[in-house]
Chain A
């Protein structure tokens, strides 16, 4: 009896002793808006009649992304943010807002591709067996599932959270909120469903494997510093207390998890398979938004938590960057599937991005930020073009099917050629400005050999980009070649991607200034 009273007294005292957490809702509103819209999307799936769902989901998703973007811009320009919010879980600072804004704009473009109705890339019913009667019936009835929209919004919510996470637990949760919907989205292709399901299984198993590494690295760093807060780990490094074994083991395992999401060699094996098998709009989302989010997370971990350790991690990251640039560029040469080729090209670009990370300076940070924006727009545009070139079996994936496309539809082939030149980094495209920015920062940071390797692998990469252009413009079209389906939403996405690539190439200064300004204060601790 008395013991019950004691427990009650403890509970009563405890309730008044525990301070309620202080959440700055205004500062983290973009994230809350995106996740809120995702939750609303789930409710729409549950309560709105099937024929109205598409008409409700699409405007809802657009409104959510645009509202979150506008709020991010407002935060960035209005009150010069440089602090941590939500009891230290999320950092609100200029580089993070730049990354989040980039992710949200690119997500709007990806949403345009996903919302395309005239040539939908998504299966009518994911649970129906490929080739079964149930599948044919749903296709004939014109039923389209709309679960992709809430899944997309959850994934974008995770991506917005990932670069802002200023402790490793929040980062892990963000990683999973980002990845779990993506695993599902990969398996939803309308055509070639076996490939799509295989891509989902491979991505899921390897992604879960890499998350386990990330988490064990977090555990070891927690053992080292007694906290998972990035700033606390940085401070513990400064005091040089704790076991070196735990520290180095933790950093290594954590890096495996982070580099896997970026798709850096030797953790890149999932990337070609998943990019090829996934529905092309989802590939576009992964090639742009996920790369931005993963690079943002890498930047924050290495610049905030591990800055005092940079003499230890820089050599390792040098090696990874060199392997990634060379590996991606060389293997891409032998590819015959256009999506697979762009996947290897994306691996090579991950290497260029790491060159900016290795610089460890405000210049390196601003160069990386600009590179991410430039590469994101070009890759969404390129994958959008791929969804437009179709034949009887869906998208014409094989490179030989693209022969003579420049004769049949010169405009589309010209636009695609422009995106490829932007990937290669030809002057007057955004790719050139981005590469120049990261390479310049790397040279100033003392990484000249890395830049030499970067320039050489850019030259190798230029070969296979130009090869596609040659195939499109200088070979005879096939008699039963693919047709170009110019659906309105996709065409809009291509036009926006093209406009951004041209503007960032010809007039890069405003965005360079914005990235430079964002990077002056670096990340908040």
Chain B
């Protein structure tokens, strides 16, 4: 397989994640879609590292994983508090702030 295939796969995964954020309603699913986008980015980084023959992209992939893990911690804490208050994790229900 040529690196182009991996890049195409990464673009497809990124698009699926982006569309998921736009169309899904559950905050947890939204968040999973963001994680999918980050993983698509990792695939792109590793593929480009292979194409350029340097290790930068692989190192960056590790950084992205660490940041994504930190984001999960903060994100789930925020989603937990609002779920306990509202008994719902639908983003359509959080509609007090508008206009």
Contacts and interface: CB of A to CB of B under 8 A. Distances in A.
Contact of A208 (B31, B41, B60): B31
A267 to B, nearest CB: 14
Contacts of B97: 195, 198-199, 202, 272-273, 276-277
B84 interface: yes
A222 B48 contact: yes
A199 B81 CA distance: 12
Contacts of B9: none
B37 A212 contact: yes
Contacts of B38: 212, 215
A219 interface: yes
A226 B40 CA distance: 18
Contacts of B56: 222, 226-228
Interface in A193-214: 193-195, 197-202, 204-205, 208-209, 211-212
Contacts of B98: 273
Given A204-B75, A204-B78, A209 B94 contact: no
Contacts of B99: 334-335
Nearest to B38: A212
Nearest to A206: B21
Contacts, number: 123
A74 B96 CA distance: 47
A184 B77 contact: yes
A212 B41 contact: yes
A205 B34 contact: yes
Interface residues of A, number: 43
Interface residues of B, number: 45
Contacts of B40: 216
A218 B59 CA distance: 14
Interface in B67-99: 67, 70-71, 74-75, 77-79, 81-82, 84-86, 91, 94, 96-99
A187 interface: yes
Interface of A: 126-127, 129-130, 169, 172-173, 176, 180, 183-184, 187, 193-195, 197-202, 204-205, 208-209, 211-212, 215-216, 218-220, 222-223, 226-228, 272-273, 276-277, 334-335
Given A194-B86, A201-B79, 17 more contacts: A169-B63, A176-B67, A180-B71, A184-B74, A197-B82, A200-B81, A200-B82, A201-B27, A201-B78, A201-B94, A205-B31, A211-B71, A215-B37, A215-B41, A216-B44, A218-B60, A273-B97
Interface of B: 7, 10, 14, 17-18, 21, 27, 30-31, 34, 37-38, 40-41, 44-45, 47-48, 51-52, 54, 56-57, 60, 63-64, 67, 70-71, 74-75, 77-79, 81-82, 84-86, 91, 94, 96-99
